[in-house]
Amino acid sequence: MSALSMSRLPTTGGPVRLAGLAILVAGAVLPLLPGVPEFWITLLNAVGLSALVAMGLVVLTGVGGLTSFGQAAFCGFGAYTTAVLSTVHGVSPWLTLVAALLLTGAAALLLGLLTVRLSGHYLPLGTMAWGISLFYLFGNLDALGRHDGISGIPPLSVAGHALYDGRSVYYVIWGIVALAALATVRLLDSRVGRTIRALRGGVLAAEASGVDTARAKLVAFVYAALLAAVSGWLFAHVQRAVNPTPFGLNAGIEYLFMAVVGGVSHIGGAVLGAGLVLLLKDQLQVVLPWLFGGSGNYESIVFGGLLVLLLQHARGGLWPLAARLLPAPAAPVVDPAAEPLPRRSVPERGGPLLEIDDLQKSFGGLAAVRNVGFSVAAGEIVGLIGPNGAGKSTTFNLITGVLRPSGGRVRLLGSGIGGLPARAVARRGVARSFQHVKLLPEMSVLDNVMLGAHLRGRAGVLRAVLRLDRAEEARLRREAALQLERCGLGDSLHRPAGTLALGQSRIVEIARALCLDPLLLLLDEPAAGLRHAEKQALAALLRRLREEGTTILLVEHDMDFVMGLVDRLVVMEFGARIAEGVPADIRNDPAVLDAYLGGIE
């Protein structure tokens, strides 16, 4: 099987690896060298602290597409939790870390529930709103020392040694940055990570694969907040004092700025962005007063200008430029020996699978679907045809839970599914493709299709971060590769989905739908954009699926394609069903001929 045996070998860049190693070694010995000024150590420590927050933004904003200006407030949660517990209650700093994570996690969950539902620009505005509120909360609570804050925070200690100076705490900070980077890489390369990545493709396709997108947003939100809390906790013990200033909206904007400058969807970009911004800010504070004289706050102005320039000339931030020097990441290996996923039991052929009665949907005054009723038996291929605007796609959306019916019933194997959310319908075994293809163009074809197998895996965040999900991931990946192979795309697994022709992307959507192991497959114009030979291959695939027990309902415009393939046809016009029968009868049905006269065919 070519798809399965195909797995690119990891590229090894000898000199690059050496350079990487050199940077690591230099980083490790730097604080030990007596000639290195304290200033550099302080700066590097600050970079590490900021990189933690920016890394959270990589997950939340860069990968998940949810922009937050409020991350500094979560640093504040971490910092104040440990400040209060360690000064007032004398709790050891390492224990307060647990408290900081719990408290921030709870706060993020609450704020996330309120915020991530917001869409478009309301979301960043929402994060600004609570970013500002929390800043004032920190500054007005007596228990938190109001605007003076809390001082006298003990330093961290490791094995009985108190880390008073920057050089010793340097290792703790960068050790934590390394751990956070590892956890983040693992999270993003997992079943949960796929759901966060899928958010960018719009919620429809993800929900149709059974993904709870609200949950995926919350996971990203809480994860980013926890990284910010760790940063704040560290900050409190490095500074030994906290006050509200570093946790306000300005800081929140700066973190986002770092993430964007670095290249907001790359973990390396978080470190690069934090480093560049802090270094630049520091240097500008020296250079600008010297250039312009006086003590004005010029650096913010220059900064704004630089950001505009960057956004115009390097939208992806600076990491992609740096990454050119790195070897290309190896494509994931498809393991042909991974254990096959369990399959659903197939209903008895010929029994009723989908029954639709008196289905209604109106958009304002427009009755897009009116009194539509038909049924599909297990093992059939049924075609739904009709002129443009007849209500075919709307009918699909009503069956698959994308839209709520205004009236009528939809039953699958006898139980009602009308009005259920899309992911609940998916869970019952209904998979679909979209008339307007919904793939993630930057993600590989294989990863796109693996999303379809979401419901057949179970691993969550913890298993992902601990890497206990590898066996399951291998099974999901094998399934996706098999479905792609079956659909004739076995040689395109590792291509970005955005490089495919439109016709091929439709086939990728079919492979993704097949990964759900569906009882019923709904295909909205699957052959549009395909060449003749590709259409024949598609027809052969659909026939094979029927033989294997999958039931198919499809919308199609190409009459030759439909007539030779389907068992029965349902014809719609102006939202109503006007005919139903075998292709030979439909071809001569006066109502159908009438509907199509001067129509699209």
Binding partner selected for residue 389 from Mg ion, ligand ADP, none, CB under the kind-specific 5 to 8 Å limit: ligand ADP
**C-beta of 535: minimal distance to Mg ion in Å?**
18
Nearer CB in complex with ligand ADP: 197/370: 370
The terminus-to-terminus CA distance of the chain in angstroms comes to: 40
Query: In the complex with Mg ion, which residue's Cβ is closer, 217 or 392?
Result: 392
At residue 244's C-alpha, the angle toward residues 240 and 249, to 5°, is 130
Closest separation in Å from C-beta 386 to Mg ion: 9
Please state the closest distance from residue 538 (CB atom) to ligand ADP, in A: 19
Cβ distance 488 to 510 under 8 Å? Answer: no
405 binds, among Mg ion, ligand ADP, none (CB under 5 to 8 A by kind): none
Q: Between 213 and 393, whose beta carbon lies closer to ligand ADP?
A: 393
* Other beta carbons less than 10 A from residue 161's beta carbon: 10
Looking at the chain, how many residues does it have? 601
Nearer to Mg ion, 184 or 393 (CB): 393
Residues 370 to 399 in contact with Mg ion, rule: CB under 5 A: 393
Report what 569 binds from Mg ion, ligand ADP, none; CB cut-off 5-8 Å by kind.
Answer: none
Encoded one letter per residue, x for contact with Mg ion by CB under 5 A and - for no contact, window 415-444 reads --------------------x---------
Kindly tell me the burial class for residue 512, based on how many C-beta atoms sit within 10 Å of its own C-beta (0-12, 13-18, 19 or more). Answer: buried
Shortest CB 392 distance to Mg ion, Å: 5
Compare residues 239 and 435 and give the one whose CB is closer to Mg ion. Answer: 435
Query: Least distance to Mg ion from the beta carbon of 492, Å?
Result: 26
At closest approach, how far in Å is the CB of 571 from Mg ion?
14
Is 522 in contact with 511 (CB distance < 8 Å)? no
Residue 390: contacted member of ligand ADP, Mg ion, none (CB under 5 to 8 Å, by partner type): ligand ADP
**Residue 153 in contact with residue 81, Cβ under 8 Å?**
no
Query: Closest residue to Mg ion, Cβ-based?
Result: 393
Looking at the Cβ atoms of 87 and 393, the one nearer to Mg ion is 393
What does 368 interact with, of Mg ion, ligand ADP, none (CB < 5 to 8 A by kind)? ligand ADP
Please spell the DSSP secondary structure of 271-301, one letter per residue: HHHHHHHHHHHHHHHHHHHHHH-S---HHHH
Compare residues 67 and 393 and give the one whose CB is closer to Mg ion. 393
213 contact, one of Mg ion, ligand ADP, none, CB 5-8 Å limit per kind: none
Which spans of this chain sit near ligand ADP (rule: CB under 6 A)?
A: 363, 366, 368, 386, 388-394
Kindly state the smallest distance separating residue 366's Cβ from ligand ADP, in Å.
6
- Read off the amino acid at residue 369: V
Distant-in-sequence, close-in-space partners of 114: CB < 8 Å, separation ≥ 6: 126
- Rounded to a whole number of angstroms, the minimum distance from the CB of residue 600 to ligand ADP is 9
Provide the CB-side half-sphere exposure for 372 (13 A, CA). 31
CA distance linking residue 244 with residue 140, whole number of Å: 9
How many CA within 13 A on the CB side of residue 173? 33
Amino acid symbol at 474: A
> Which residues are paired to 382 by β-bridges?
553, 568
Rg (C-alpha) for the chain, rounded Å, is: 28
Residue 386 interface partner, choices Mg ion, ligand ADP, none, CB cut-off 5-8 Å depending on type: ligand ADP
Tell me, what amino acid is at 357? D
Decide whether 173 or 385 has the Cβ nearer to Mg ion: 385
By C-beta, is 413 or 559 nearer to Mg ion? 559
Residues within window 470-489 making contact with Mg ion, judged by CB under 5 A: none
Counting residues that bind Mg ion (by CB under 5 A) gives 2
CB 188 within 8 A of CB 63: yes
Residue identified by tokens 């407030």 is 73
What is the distance between the alpha carbons of residues 422 and 208, in angstroms, rounded to a whole number? 6
Nearest CA-CA partner of 224 in 448, 113, 68, 380: 68
Q: Which among ligand ADP, Mg ion, none contacts residue 394 (Cβ within 5 to 8 A by kind)?
A: ligand ADP
| Residue ranges in contact with Mg ion by CB under 5 A | 393, 435
